[in-house]
């Protein structure tokens, strides 16, 4: 029997999908069963080659709140933008198709949005590492609302430290502001969320943060956007850097603070990019990796100076720092080849080692 829509839409839930057939039913079930029923669910099938599109169509046939947009593959940002174009709810939420949410997520967040007249509501996140049988909570201690834009930079820093700012999926956004200001996802993975949120923060007046970690972000150890080599990574990094510079200028952030943030970000991003050269889907030859190491890393005196001036934040950055400053491209190639051989061929031992260095 088809489930009827009640008419008034409080939250438009946008679910971009690409080849997530194994996980999409659990995701959609968690959205359908929300306590807040006045929602619409916009599934954007981004050119999937598995059964994701058919699964979405079957769900739509049973629940009139669901509609499916089928499009050629245009990647995550374009899929989210396509969903925003047709959204009719008072607020917009984004849910990734391989994650799930707790049944009181939208009722709890919408209640706060209504009470505080918030333009954005932010929740905590439950990060599930399935292969390590480990759960990590990113959350604040108690509910908090900020109405003074002069404090938005401090809020950005606080939320970034708590790993709550960069996500788009743990937020409700007031639809009218997104559409009136023509705010869309402009930068591709893996920096689309932080860039979008920085633009949003410049345009809003009230932000509420709630302690509930309703969103379940599932880390399965599979190849995802976050663990995929992307040839355009450094170009996306430069675009993110420009968005951040505009953000810092808008909020009149002290230059010493903004420069320090940008340096730490560059070290982190370049460390991630170096690792991505050895990820399973990179398909780069040893010759290609050596060329990238030489051109983008070891020949850049600017990068070396920034790394030299910036304290390493974890063991991976320490390894990156020592290799860049004191080794050669050939030794770095040998070291990371061995490290990632260990990671992919002796996964159990690697994960035990990773757990030891985390704790």
With CA atoms as reference, report the closest residue to 8 among 30, 40, 41.
40
Whether 190 contacts 225, CB under 8 Å:
yes
Backbone φ and ψ of 284, nearest 5° = -100, 140
**Residue 50 pLDDT level (bands cut at 50, 70, 90):** very high
d(CA 23, CA 104): 20
Whether 98 contacts 19, CB under 8 Å:
no
d(CA 215, CA 212): 9
* Structure-model confidence comparison of residues 175 and 355, the more confident one: 175
- Rg value, the chain, Cα: 21
Burial class (CB in 10 A: 0-12, 13-18, 19+), 331: exposed
d(CA 22, CA 39): 24
Give strand ranges (E) for the chain.
11-17, 39-46, 66-71, 91-94, 100-101, 120-122, 125-129, 134-138, 144-146, 171-174, 207-209, 215-219
With CA atoms as reference, report the closest residue to 270 among 303, 229, 310, 243.
303
pLDDT at position 265: 96
d(CA 348, CA 133): 12
- Compute the mean pLDDT over every residue in the chain, rounded to the nearest whole number: 92
Q: Over the stretch 137-174, which tens digit does the pLDDT of each residue have?
A: 999 999 999 999 999 999 999 999 999 999 999 999 99
* Structure-model confidence comparison of residues 342 and 32, the more confident one: 32
Cis bond upstream, residue 108 (ω within 30) = no
pLDDT above 60: residue 226:
no
Q: Across the chain, how many H-helices and E-strands are there?
A: 14, 12
d(CA 153, CA 138): 20
Q: Over the stretch 263-304, which tens digit does the pLDDT of each residue have?
A: 999 999 999 999 999 998 899 999 999 999 999 999 999 999
Q: Is 12 helix (H, G, I), strand (E, B) or coil?
A: strand
Whether 76 contacts 189, CB under 8 Å:
yes
pLDDT above 60: residue 2:
no
Q: Over the stretch 248-263, which tens digit does the pLDDT of each residue have?
A: 999 999 999 999 999 9
């Amino acid at each position: 029997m088809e489930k009827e829509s009640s008419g008034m839409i409080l939250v438009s839930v946008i679910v971009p999908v690409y080849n997530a057939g194994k996980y999409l039913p659990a995701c959609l079930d968690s959205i359908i069963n929300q306590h807040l029923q006045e929602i619409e669910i916009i599934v954007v099938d981004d050119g999937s080659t598995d059964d994701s599109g058919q699964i979405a169509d079957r769900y739509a046939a049973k629940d009139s709140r669901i509609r499916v947009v089928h499009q050629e593959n245009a990647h995550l940002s374009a899929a989210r933008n396509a969903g925003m174009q047709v959204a009719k709810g008072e607020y917009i939420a984004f849910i990734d198709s391989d994650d799930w949410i707790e049944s009181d997520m939208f009722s709890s967040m919408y209640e706060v949005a209504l009470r505080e007249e918030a333009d954005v509501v932010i929740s905590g996140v439950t990060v599930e590492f399935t292969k390590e049988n480990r759960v990590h909570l990113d959350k604040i201690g108690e509910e908090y609302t900020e109405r003074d834009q002069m404090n938005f930079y401090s809020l950005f820093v606080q939320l970034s430290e708590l790993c709550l700012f960069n996500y788009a999926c743990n937020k409700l956004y007031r639809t009218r502001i997104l559409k009136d200001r023509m705010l869309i996802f402009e930068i591709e993975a893996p920096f689309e969320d932080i860039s979008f949120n920085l633009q949003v923060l410049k345009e809003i007046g009230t932000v509420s943060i709630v302690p509930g970690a309703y969103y379940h972000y599932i880390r399965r150890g599979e190849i995802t956007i976050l663990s995929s080599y992307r040839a355009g990574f450094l170009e996306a990094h430069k675009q993110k850097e420009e968005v951040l510079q505009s953000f810092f200028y808008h909020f009149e952030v002290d230059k010493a603070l903004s420069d320090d943030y940008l340096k730490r970000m560059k070290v982190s991003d370049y460390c991630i990019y170096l690792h991505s050269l050895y990820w399973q889907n990179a398909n780069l030859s040893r010759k290609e990796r050596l060329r990238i190491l030489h051109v983008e890393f070891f020949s850049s005196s600017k990068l070396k100076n920034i790394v030299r001036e910036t304290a390493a934040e974890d063991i991976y950055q320490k390894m990156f720092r020592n290799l860049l400053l004191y080794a050669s491209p050939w030794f770095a190639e040998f070291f990371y080849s061995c490290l990632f051989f260990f990671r992919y061929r002796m996964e159990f031992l690697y994960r035990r080692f990773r757990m030891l260095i985390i704790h």
